[in-house]
Amino acid sequence: MAYAHTSKVAKKEPSWGSVDKTKLPDSAFADSKNRKYPHHWISGGVMYLHRGGLAAARSAAGGARSGKKASTKVSSHINKHAKDIGMGEDKKKQQIDMETLNVGINALHIMDPEIHECLFKKEEGEGASYNFSMIGYSGGIIKNHWYWGNLAIDLAGFLFNKPKYPILRDHDTNREIGFSKKPAVEAGKGLVFTNKNATLLENEEAVKFVENAFKGFPYQASIYGKPLVIEKIAEGQSVKVNGLTLKGPGTVWRKTEYMECSICVFGYDDKTIAQVFSDNGQHLDMEVESIRTVEEQELTNDKMEVFGMDLEKLKEESPEEYEALMAEAKEAAAKELEDAFTSKLAGKDGEISSLAAEKETLTVTLQTTEARVLALEKKDVLREEEAMNFKAASIWKSELANSGLPEWLHAKVQKHVQRASFMGEDGGFNVEAFTEAVKAEIKDWGSHISQEDVQGFSLLGRSAEGGSSHEKLDSDAMVDRMLGYVGQSHPDTTH
């Protein structure tokens, strides 16, 4: 598909780092034959000029990366685009590189340098609502920020990609105050929130905020944003942002994704500010387009060019010294690489040894823990077994005590109902079934023993001649007699 090659730019464009250059047509490159110096992107079937891509291509064509400048044709092509969009041909503009920043999360929570309290004013009349006004960020310069140096956020570079945004208390997602639509971006004021674009909730946190604000408590706003394009300002340099001059060292967020606005307490002392808005250990890895001042890069390029010319001159005038210098440079480079590799390898060996020792310690700890767990399990099982035996014995004792059976017969009766027969598959003791079985067994014994039999167990018998016998009735014989009543034999009798 053929695309029109123009200097047309889109109102919104993605970060240059997110553009897939491999899918761009040849015409998107200043050097279309070799597919070098890309500076366009495709959206909706239209090829747009990318401002960040153009700045990067312009810098690369000037030799910023390779030390070798592009052809006059390529440079003229890029400079024409720059002139068309007002970037001009001033080589002191900017250079963009992709950079990954590891940023403390609180470095993205920005409190405005001006004192902008959250203002509430109730309208007159019964049932009247209130007017609410809050400045999230005025566009002013925050001096000596603990992470960014002197900091300003370009109001024209805010991106609002969602229909609604949270309003929180102290950037805590568990403390909701309300929500807002896209805040108004007004020149001279900044990000403005009012009751027209913001809604406050009716929860305890929000009600408390409204009540305190009406009484004049000096709340202040703080925004949370993620910079996509940053401009680093070196010491001694300055840039314009939001109509103000920011002096380096510092940073300008040229393009920022807006996340949320929070209500904070104005009037922290320095120590508290350091605790709340300084690095708290939580970090984000962010890929940003980093705009650097070209003066620093040009200085580097100049040094490279001078160094290159000196080498060429040395090669012409003294080839032997040139070869010796090159050999020395190669040897030094090889030695540096070898040392770096050896150092890295030693570090890995140390990590491996440390991990091995940690593994051994964990293994011993695991074995000890397993042994303790097994011992505890054994104790629990034995304790449960003892408890169930005690429970069974208690049931027998209670039921036999109320049965009227002679005590010497109790042991005989108990042999007929064993706890083991009432254990479930899960090891549980069916107490109810066991109790019913005990009662039934005692009842069965009692039904076959008359009162006379029971009393006879302790009386003296008479002989056939009418004489008194002093022999006590044999208990086992009597048991056999009782069992005979129910058609059973004594369990201890062998035939």
Q: Are 358 and 352 in contact (CB under 8 A)?
A: no
Measured distance CA(75)–CA(83) in Å, rounded: 12
Report helix angle 319-401 to 294-317, nearest 10.
Answer: 130
- Residues whose CB falls within 8 Å of the CB of residue 128, separated by 6 or more in sequence, listed in order: 122
Place of tokens 């929180």: 168
Consecutive H or E run containing 312: helix 294-317
Please state the length of the chain: 495
Measured distance CA(30)–CA(49) in Å, rounded: 12
Q: Are 53 and 39 in contact (CB under 8 A)?
A: yes
Q: Which has the closest alpha carbon to 56: 289, 296, 303?
A: 289
Q: DSSP characters for 430-451?
A: -HHHHHHHHHHHHHHHHHTS-H
Rg of the chain over Cα atoms, rounded to whole angstroms, equals 46
**DSSP H helical segments within 48-106, as ranges?**
51-61, 72-84
115: number of Cβ within 10 Å? 10
Q: Which has the closest alpha carbon to 413: 389, 441, 435, 439?
A: 441
Strand-pair category, 158-159 with 250-265: parallel
Measured distance CA(368)–CA(374) in Å, rounded: 10
pLDDT of residue 130: 74
The tokens for 323 are 């070869």
Each residue's pLDDT expressed in tens, for the chain with a length of 495 residues = 789 889 999 878 888 888 899 999 999 999 999 999 999 999 988 999 998 888 888 878 887 656 688 999 999 999 999 888 876 444 455 677 888 888 888 899 998 777 666 887 776 666 557 788 889 999 999 999 989 999 999 999 999 999 999 999 999 999 999 999 999 998 888 999 998 999 999 999 999 998 998 888 888 899 999 999 999 999 989 999 999 999 999 999 999 999 999 998 854 434 345 455 555 668 888 888 888 766 544 545 544 544 454 566 567 666 766 776 677 677 767 777 777 778 778 878 888 888 888 888 888 888 999 999 999 989 988 999 899 999 999 999 999 999 889 988 899 999 999 999 999 988 899 999 999 999 999 999 988 875 445 444 443 344 444 443 333 444 555 556 556 555 555 555 444
Q: Which has the closest alpha carbon to 67: 300, 243, 240?
A: 300
Measured distance CA(15)–CA(51) in Å, rounded: 10
Measured distance CA(50)–CA(31) in Å, rounded: 16
Measured distance CA(195)–CA(97) in Å, rounded: 41
Place of tokens 């004792």: 397
The tokens for 314 are 């040395």
Consecutive H or E run containing 408: none
Measured distance CA(47)–CA(120) in Å, rounded: 48
Return the ∠ at Cα 267 (arms to 263 and 269), rounded to 5°. 120
Measured distance CA(189)–CA(394) in Å, rounded: 86
pLDDT of residue 94: 62
> Taking the domains of the chain in order of start, what are their residue ranges?
16-93, 100-292, 397-485
Report helix angle 431-447 to 319-401, nearest 10.
Answer: 20
The tokens for 302 are 């100049």
Which one-letter DSSP state was computed for residue 355?
H
**3-class DSSP state of 389:** helix
pTM of this structure: 0.44
Residues paired with 409 in a beta bridge: none
Measured distance CA(416)–CA(396) in Å, rounded: 12
Place of tokens 């004489």: 467
**3-class DSSP state of 280:** coil
Q: Which has the closest alpha carbon to 276: 267, 268, 284?
A: 268
Which one-letter DSSP state was computed for residue 94?
-
55: number of Cβ within 10 Å? 23
What type of residue is 428?
Answer: G
434: number of Cβ within 10 Å? 21
pLDDT of residue 125: 62
Measured distance CA(79)–CA(87) in Å, rounded: 9
What type of residue is 311?
Answer: L
